Amino acid sequence: MPRRRHDAPIARRAGAWLAWWVLLMSFWVILDNSIESDELLAGAGAAALGAVLAEVAFAQAATQFRMRAGWLAPALRLPQLVVRDTCIVFAVLWRRLASGEEPDSGFREPPVRYGDDTPQGVTRRVLLVGARSLAPNAFVLGIDSGRDVMVVHQLVINNGEAAE
């Protein structure tokens, strides 16, 4: 049975709250586009409330989030992949509207290690599925643990590769 978050050490919960607060406050500053003191105070309060709600939700769900810093490096490629796939999708849309040509869509099965069922293994799989589904040309249907493959639907099969 998973250990509930309210059983976790107070330092770990405080660190998680602080991480949520920093993330939410960063979003506030980016979206609000103001560094006036009253705006920053409102953002700090909203971020603190959001961090409390996130921690309460995690405690109630009894989830554990375990991540390695090395997993963030591949995320630096995500903006490039999103731009590339957006161009691919718009080009296919243009061809569809202009000439009625349908794209060669299909399923791909790239190899991926399923891993174990520890919180760290689950976190890794969630990040893999989310990152691969972020770009508009691909959507992950799941990871097959028996064959260690990720089942992905692509609107346009990249690089002339045949659908599997």
Whether residue 121 is found in the same domain as residue 44: no
**Are residues 80 and 150 both part of a single domain?**
yes
Question: What distance in Å separates the CA atoms of residue 46 and residue 129, rounded to the nearest whole number?
Answer: 30
Q: Are residues 96 and 149 in the same domain?
A: yes
Residues 54 and 85 in one domain: no
Q: Which two tokens stand for residue 67?
A: 């991540």
26 shares a domain with 88 = no
- pLDDT tens readout for residues 12-55: 788 888 988 998 999 888 888 888 889 999 999 999 999 999 88
- Based on the structure, what is the number of domains in the chain? 2
Domain of residue 40: give its range: 5-61
Per-residue pLDDT reduced to its tens digit, 137-153: 999 999 999 999 999 99
Domain shared by 37 and 55, yes or no: yes
Q: What is the mean pLDDT of residues 66-91?
A: 83
Do 117 and 95 fall into the same domain?
A: yes
Q: Which of 40, 61, 82 is the last residue of a domain?
A: 61
Indicate the residue among 61, 78, 96 that finishes a domain.
61
pLDDT top residue among 109 and 33: 109
What is the model's pLDDT at position 116?
86
Q: Where is the domain boundary, 61, 80, 107?
A: 61
pTM, to two decimals? 0.58
CA distance 164 to 159: 14
Which residue is associated with the tokens 């490096």?
73
